[in-house]
Amino acid sequence: MEINEDKLNALLGQIVVEMGAAANGPLITIGDKLGLYKTLAESKVLSASELADKTGTALRYVQEWLAAQAASGYVEYDSVSHQYYMTPEQVAAFGDSNSPVFMTGAFYAITSLYHDEPKMLEAFKTGEGISWGDHHTCLFCGTEKFFSPSYSGNLVNSWIPALDGVTEKLKDGAKVADIGCGHAASTIIMAKAFPKSHFIGIDFHEESIGKARNRAIEAGVNNIEFKVATAKDYDDKNFDFITFFDCLHDMGDPVGACAHAKKALKPDGSCMIVEPFANDSIKDNLNPVGRAFYAFSTQLCLPCSMNQEVGLALGAQAGLKRLTETIKTGGFNYCEKAAETPFNLILEVKS
């Protein structure tokens, strides 16, 4: 088979880009943990020695770190003054933890993928799943850190207002369940925004519920409680509103989870189901967002689902059509897209 040199060189060029991205992942989490991005963002312009002094870090490492970040396009380098700075866009992605597009959390989660590679190797051979709780702990903090900025920027301001009458219910005082709440980023945001409502965060991972309780205490919210349960066996009822944030596709029996939610809702209650953005066909998901989500899906979402009782394994790129079919099979009559972002589909679901 004859090799096309132009295509080969293009492929090798892409691989070099991938090598740089993979090697820089730990440097992103280091830069976040040591406050390198934050300090540079707040200081506007700094030399390497100034950044090292301000952060109490070793100059020679900071020099190399800055060069790697500049080569990646994550910070800017002034070759005349030999100083570094960040553009507003770079600050939003790496230097401002309150930004709705703050991205460092993804790299914490990616760290867990490398730690768990031996488990995935075995899963590929056996077809068995991996429980969410059996992943490396970097996954849990990374998931919280990645999703929280988007939830903070969109949940109260745009996603809930896109649902019929839900904002009014929450302002007046509603009973709400947040299924698969994890570390409770979404639950706490809603509890703060709607103090008259009562929120119950539910997750089957006991360690995450423990962390969620601590997060709620730190946030000073008192209209929230947490329970360890699956999406099919929590026993509370008469909810006005039930939410699923980026978790329905991880469940072994998403149909059963929807059926249980329908029974737990009041007759006029509704659900908001937030899922990763995806088109309905593989060919339409062959893009940078789909690429990232397919990778996470292979190593996190599918193993979690396949470890459970049914293992439907929707995956993180199920798409609106399959999600709608799943939700309606669970007993709901109405499922419509209420909003979307480059990373999420927001579905309004009711009887």
What's the pLDDT score for residue 59? 98
Please report the DSSP string for 49-85 in residue order: HHHHHHHT--HHHHHHHHHHHHHHTSSEEETTTTEEE
CATH topology of domain 5-95: Arc Repressor Mutant, subunit A (1.10.10)
Residues 159 and 346: beta-carbon distance below 8 Å: yes
Kindly state the average pLDDT of the residues 104-108.
94
Mean pLDDT along residues 279-305 = 96
Interaxial angle between packed helices 319-329 and 254-264, expressed in degrees from 0 to 180 and rounded to the nearest 10 = 50
26 to 30, 105, 111, 266: CA distances (angstroms)? 6, 12, 8, 47
**pLDDT, averaged across the chain:** 96
pLDDT score recorded for residue 191: 98
Alpha-carbon dihedral sign for residues 107, 108, 111, 113: negative
pLDDT tens for residues 12-34?
A: 999 999 999 999 999 999 999 99
Angle at which helix 104-115 crosses helix 117-126, to 10 degrees, equals: 60
What single letter denotes the amino acid at residue 157?
N
What are the two backbone dihedrals, phi and then psi, of residue 242, each rounded to the nearest 5 degrees?
A: -130, 135
Question: Over the stretch 40-82, which tens digit does the pLDDT of each residue have?
Answer: 999 999 999 999 999 999 999 999 999 999 999 999 999 999 9
Taking the C-alpha atoms of residue 126 and residue 317, their distance in angstroms, rounded to an integer, is 23
Cβ atoms of residues 199 and 224 within 8 Å: yes
Q: What is the pLDDT of residues 239-273, one digit of tens each?
A: 999 999 999 999 999 999 999 999 999 999 999 99
Q: Is 310 a residue whose pLDDT tops 80? A: no
Q: What's the pLDDT tens digit per position in 323-333?
A: 999 999 999 99
Residue pLDDT, tens place only, 268-288: 999 999 999 999 999 999 999
Domain boundaries, the chain: 5-95, 104-350
Q: Is a pLDDT exceeding 90 seen at residue 175?
A: yes
Cα separation of 60 and 119, whole Å? 37
Q: What is the CATH number of domain 104-350?
A: 3.40.50.150
The alpha carbon of 238 is separated from its chain's Cα centroid by a whole number of angstroms, namely 29
Instruction: Give the predicted TM-score (pTM) of the model.
Output: 0.91
- Over range 221-242, report the average pLDDT: 97
3-class SS of residue 327: helix
In what side-by-side order are the strands of the sheet with 224-228?
A: 224-228, 198-203, 175-179, 239-245, 265-276, 344-350, 334-340
Residue bearing the bigger pLDDT, 80 or 141: 80
Distance from C-alpha of 310 to C-alpha of 308, rounded to nearest angstrom? 6
Q: What percent of the chain has pLDDT over 90?
A: 93
pLDDT of 1: 82
Query: 100 to each of 148, 149, 178, how far by Cα in Å?
Result: 8, 4, 21
Q: Which of 187, 96, 107 is nearest to 143 (CA)?
A: 107
Q: Which of 111, 171, 104 has the alpha carbon at shortest distance from 135?
A: 111
Contact 155, 118 (CB under 8 A): no
DSSP class of 347: E
Averaged pLDDT, 104-116: 95
Q: Is the pLDDT of residue 208 over 90?
A: yes
User: Is pLDDT above 90 for 169?
Assistant: yes
Asked whether residue 321 carries a pLDDT value surpassing 80, the answer given is yes
